Amino acid sequence: MIITPAASVDTGNWAGYEWHGGTVAAAEFVVPEFPYHDMNSEEKNNQTALSIWTGLGVSPYIEQIGVYDYVKSGHVDWAGFCAWWPNVNESCGHGISTGDEIFVSVHRSGFTYTMQMRDAGPHNKWVISIKKTLNHEDTTAEAIAEDSNYSGTPFVPLSRFNSFRVATSGNPATEVYSSWGHAVKNTDRAITIEHR
């Protein structure tokens, strides 16, 4: 059964949910299969195509942590990132493989943010934690999959990947969706990202 979201926003390239009033954003997911042979020419040209992340964000500030794909030697690899936009973006984490179970979280205490990412395997096992003190606080939590190759209109479809489930720390309230994909709210703590 699909639960109707409280509101929706046509973003053009995001799919997921956000919830409000918390100081923690956390998500758990399995890195999806994204076959190289199904990628379009822009994606194969060593460009990032898909990002999966959780974060706290009130525009123009974003604190987020997650994974993104990239093309190398004719196949798709994955890497981790930590972003304090518009201030600092960093590569973070270690080896990430399709099928790995990833845990990501952002905690806020005052103006101090702690980001953590853990790869529970089966291919890689590691954990990283990064702390920053910024000049603002955000309380909108998000769990998002993003077509990071999106350049506005005309719309360039993202290559197909299998739908994947995300467990969240909060009760998703607002669906963020577009013609690129949408999110199904499975329970109070779980969503499924479906690429159209």
In angstroms, rounded to a whole number, what is the distance separating the alpha carbons of residues 47 and 180? Answer: 18
Query: How many Cα atoms sit within 13 Å of 109 on the Cβ side?
Result: 4
Q: Residue 12 — very low, low, confident or very high, per pLDDT cuts 50/70/90?
A: low
Q: Where are the domains of the chain?
A: 8-182
Q: Residue 82 — very low, low, confident or very high, per pLDDT cuts 50/70/90?
A: very high
Asked whether the beta carbons of 51 and 152 are under 8 A apart, the reply is no
Asked whether the beta carbons of 69 and 49 are under 8 A apart, the reply is yes
User: How are the residues of the chain apportioned to helix, strand and coil, as percentages rounded to the nearest 5?
Assistant: 5, 55, 40
Q: Residue 114 — very low, low, confident or very high, per pLDDT cuts 50/70/90?
A: very high
Whether domain 8-182 has CATH 2.60.120: the reply is yes
Asked whether the beta carbons of 195 and 146 are under 8 A apart, the reply is no
For residue 151, the tally of other CB atoms under 10 A from its CB is 11
Asked whether the beta carbons of 16 and 144 are under 8 A apart, the reply is yes
Q: What is the pLDDT of residue 40?
A: 79
DSSP string, 56-79: EEETTEEEEEEEEEEEETTEEEEE
* Digit-coded pLDDT (tens) for 96-105: 999 999 999 9
Q: What is the pLDDT of residue 188?
A: 93
Q: Model pTM?
A: 0.89
